[in-house]
Amino acid sequence: AQRVTQPEKLLSVFKGAPVELKCNYSYSGSPELFWYVQYSRQRLQLLLRHISRESIKGFTADLNKGETSFHLKKPFAQEEDSAMYYCALSGPPYNNAGNMLTFGGGTRLMVKP
């Protein structure tokens, strides 16, 4: 069974401080990993995915298969980063049947001025 764990429900940091949102997963094959973000009163939206290896809004995430982790990092947090962050997992690309997302419980990031 696939599972995503986000151990922190709440992470509070000051503006300019580094941020690391933790995500660990359990999956028997080669998963696709994503970070979704939900700003206040807005819909879930994709922040980044591991296959793209890109930095979005200063955030990066590296897939560590040995530790089965996909932690989200940003060196200098901004107040506008305050939101709910969800780590999610999907099956490998060749499985075109549906590719349901399995979500972690989410971490609320609060960036204080």
Chain residues 88-107 in contact with another protein, contact rule CB under 8 A: 90-106
Residue nearer to another protein on the CB measure, 55 or 78? 55
Chain residues 47-86 in contact with another protein, contact rule CB under 8 A: 49, 51, 86
* Residue 6: CB minimum distance to another protein, A: 9
* Residue 42: CB minimum distance to another protein, A: 8
| β-strand pairing of 107-112 with 10-14 | parallel
By three-state DSSP, how is residue 79 classified? helix
Distance of CA 83 to the CA centre of its chain: 12
Residue nearer to another protein on the CB measure, 17 or 46? 46
Query: Helix %, strand %, coil % for the chain, to 5?
Result: 5, 45, 50
Q: What values do phi and psi take at 21, rounded to 5?
A: -100, 125
On the CB side of 68, how many CA atoms lie within 13 Å of its CA? Answer: 14
- DSSP type of residue 68: T
Annotate each residue in 24-53 with x if it binds another protein (CB under 8 A) or - if it does not, as one string.
-------xx---x-----xxxxx--x-x--
Q: What is the total count of residues that contact another protein (CB under 8 A)?
A: 28
Contacting residues toward another protein, per CB under 8 A: 31-32, 36, 42-46, 49, 51, 86, 90-106
